[in-house]
Amino acid sequence: MQRYSSAREGVERLSEKLKQSVDEINSLKEKTSYWEAQYNTTMEEVGRLSSIINKIDELERESTSAIAYYRERMDEAIRKLKETIEKYRALLGDERVSFESSTVKILEDLKMTQEKLQKVLPYFPLILKFGWKPTKVINDKIYNINVTFEVASP
Amino acid sequence: MNSLKEVEFMLIPVEYRYFITKYGMREEDYDKVFPKEEIRSIKIEPRNLEREMFSVDFGDLKGGREYIVKARVKDVAGNEKFVEVKTPYIRQFENIAKTDDITVAAFYYNWYIPGYDIPKDLPDKPLLGLYYSDDNIVFSKMLIGLRGME
* Measured distance CA(B24)–CA(B41) in Å, rounded: 32
Task: List pLDDT tens digits, range A102-118.
Answer: 888 888 888 888 777 77
Are A146 and A116 contained in the same domain? no
pLDDT at A129: 92
Are A114 and A131 contained in the same domain? no
Are A112 and A134 contained in the same domain? no
Are A107 and A151 contained in the same domain? no
- Computed over every residue of chain A, the mean pLDDT equals 86
Three-state secondary structure call for residue B14: coil
Whether residue B1 is predicted with pLDDT greater than 70 in this model: the reply is: no
Q: What domain range includes position B51?
A: 4-146
Nearest residue of B to residue A152 by CA position?
B51
H or E segment and range at residue B60 = none
Whether residue B137 is predicted with pLDDT greater than 70 in this model: the reply is: yes
Cβ of B73 within 8 Å of Cβ of A151? The answer is yes
Are A98 and A110 contained in the same domain? yes
pTM above 0.90, yes or no: no
Report the residue from B59, B75, B96 with minimal CB separation from A143.
Answer: B59
Contact residues, chain B, for A131 at CB < 8 Å = 85
Confidence of residue A72 (pLDDT cuts 50, 70, 90): low
DSSP one-letter string for A52-91: HHHHHHHHHHHHHHHHHHHHH-HHHHHHHHHHHHHHHHHH
Chain A: nearest CA to B132, how far in angstroms? 26
DSSP designation for B97:
G
Whether residue B37 is predicted with pLDDT greater than 90 in this model: the reply is: yes
Are A112 and A73 contained in the same domain? yes
Are A79 and A141 contained in the same domain? no
For chain A, the domain total comes to 2
Q: What domain range includes position A134?
A: 124-154
Task: List pLDDT tens digits, range B63-110.
Answer: 999 999 999 999 888 889 999 999 999 999 998 888 888 888 878 788
Contacts of A119 (CB under 8 A, 6+ apart): none
For chain B, the domain total comes to 1
- Using an 8 Å CB-CB cutoff, list residues of chain A that contact chain B: 121-122, 124-127, 130-132, 135-136, 138-154
Contact residues, chain A, for B54 at CB < 8 Å = 148-151
